Structure 1
Amino acid sequence: MLDHQKGRPVHLIPDTVMERGFTLIELMITITVLGVMLALGLPSFVETIQNMQVRTAAESILDGLQIARSEAVRRNAHTQFVIGPGSGWTVSEINPPTSGVACGVLATIQTRSGSEGSEKATIVVTGTTGAGATSVTFTPTGWTTAACVANSIAQINVGSSVLDSTKERPLEIRITAGGGMRLCAPWSGDADDLNPPASVGNWRLPAGDPRRC
């Protein structure tokens, strides 16, 4: 419409403008639905996070062992891997056992804190002569030796301090006398692979799976 006097357009403004938004009831329903979804998904999320911490700890320990072995060969020296505290570790170069000097630390090569992404992981160490092992020594050829510590680390089991046995996915690291290392999934009981005992939970692998211990 044009202004009849000056010929300018005239815009008609309606008396009321309708605005659309959320009502209080709609907002409460949305919040309730989100709350239910979070409640249903939170346990699974926590389980995933905690099992990720188990794997992080296990892979870190395996890395530390591999560093100790490779540095022994590279330096043509004896190195020692020490576990703890927690899932933390330290790799050091030590005096040769045949030098007539105690296997003391010559230099620290690398360390890792157990709080780095795996503070809830639990560690159980089995030595070559039983429990209580805390270290393993590598020779310049990459083999393990008991010359410094009679009870060397032979196996490390990593689990979760938060999840029960039906939810956690524990991992195991095995060390051979030749310096070989393997990360695998432990298996308990003699039950059929297709019908594992409740203690095994959801961490079941078929016979022949290379990830299984």
Structure 2
Amino acid sequence: MMMQLRGFTLIEMLIAVAIFAFLIMLAGPMYAKFMGNSQIRNAGDGMLNGVQQAQSIAVRGNTLARLVVDPTTGTGGWRILETVDGTEPAGLPNPVQVYSVTDGSPHASVVPTPAGATQITFDGFGRIVSNLDATPTISCINVDHSTMTGLRSLRVVISNTGIGIGTPKLCDPAAASTEPQACPAAIPCT
């Protein structure tokens, strides 16, 4: 009587490993693209949340609150500073809240516009007002990936006119104007 062998032979195992390696090779580029788009989305959501929180802090405290954006790729982020009676406290301001892009999007590139703008200030009614130091006010924050190309860019747009004054929106600059995720055409962000 012959014994039946159970389990895998070495050849069967090598074939299974080869098929698995081939599938990983096929999925690798798609996974990298997925991770890159996720980092862009995380950074975009983080910037949108910063604008909304600064506006909320200004309304809640009936004071001036400003969002200061650090556009340094890989280490940047934002911080929210509260201003009492329209003046800066002596010394370094104590941030109410801080966010770093390293928290989920280390390769995200954050570029505020207009050029040179790094902050936006809200008053006690949630409206955008001039910055205390007379620097340009952020109207858009463009979010892209710093090391990969061909990914979906996002943009945070802060309206200062019309019905949605001070209302931030996370949008897709490449979307058709008829789509809901499209950026408003009335706000130039170049």
Q: What is the CA distance between 1:107 and its match in structure 2?
A: 4.1
Deviates more, 1:32-41 or 1:86-95: 86-95
Q: Could you say what secondary structure the match of 1:122 adopts? A: strand
Unaligned 5+ residue runs, structure 1? Answer: 1-13, 188-204
Residues 23 and 137 of structure 1: is their aligned pair in 2 closer, same or farther, counting only changes over 3 Å? same
Q: What is the CA distance between 1:27 and its match in structure 2?
A: 1.1
Counterpart-to-counterpart distance in 2, 1:17 and 1:114: 62
Compute the TM-score of the two structures, normalised by the length of structure 1: 0.75
8 Å contact from structure 2 (residues 131, 137) kept in 1: no
Residue 159 of structure 1, aligned match among 133, 144, 148: 144
Q: Does 1:211 align with 2:181?
A: yes
Deviates more, 1:107-116 or 1:49-58: 107-116
8 Å contact from structure 1 (residues 96, 103) kept in 2: no
Residues 27 and 147 of structure 1: is their aligned pair in 2 closer, same or farther, counting only changes over 3 Å? closer
Query: Which residue of the partner structure matches residue 155 of structure 2?
Result: 172
Deviates more, 1:60-69 or 1:77-86: 77-86
Q: How does 1:120-199 map to 2 (within 5 A)?
A: 120-127=107-114, 131-148=115-132, 149-164=134-149, 166=150, 168-177=151-160, 178-187=165-174
Unaligned 5+ residue runs, structure 2? Answer: 184-190
In our comparison, the structure showing a higher alpha carbon Rg is 1
Counterpart-to-counterpart distance in 2, 1:147 and 1:90: 15
Q: What is the CA distance between 1:65 and its match in structure 2?
A: 0.6
Q: What is the CA distance between 1:96 and its match in structure 2?
A: 3.6
Counterpart-to-counterpart distance in 2, 1:140 and 1:207: 33
Q: Could you say what secondary structure the match of 1:22 adopts? A: coil
Q: What is the CA distance between 1:79 and its match in structure 2?
A: 0.4
Counterpart-to-counterpart distance in 1, 2:94 and 2:111: 27
The amino acid of 1:212's aligned partner reads A
**What is the identity percentage for the equivalent residue pairs of Structure 1 and Structure 2?**
32
8 Å contact from structure 2 (residues 67, 81) kept in 1: yes
Q: How does 1:6-155 map to 2 (within 5 A)?
A: 17-84=3-70, 85-86=72-73, 87-97=76-86, 101-102=87-88, 107-127=94-114, 131-148=115-132, 149-155=134-140
8 Å contact from structure 1 (residues 95, 106) kept in 2: no
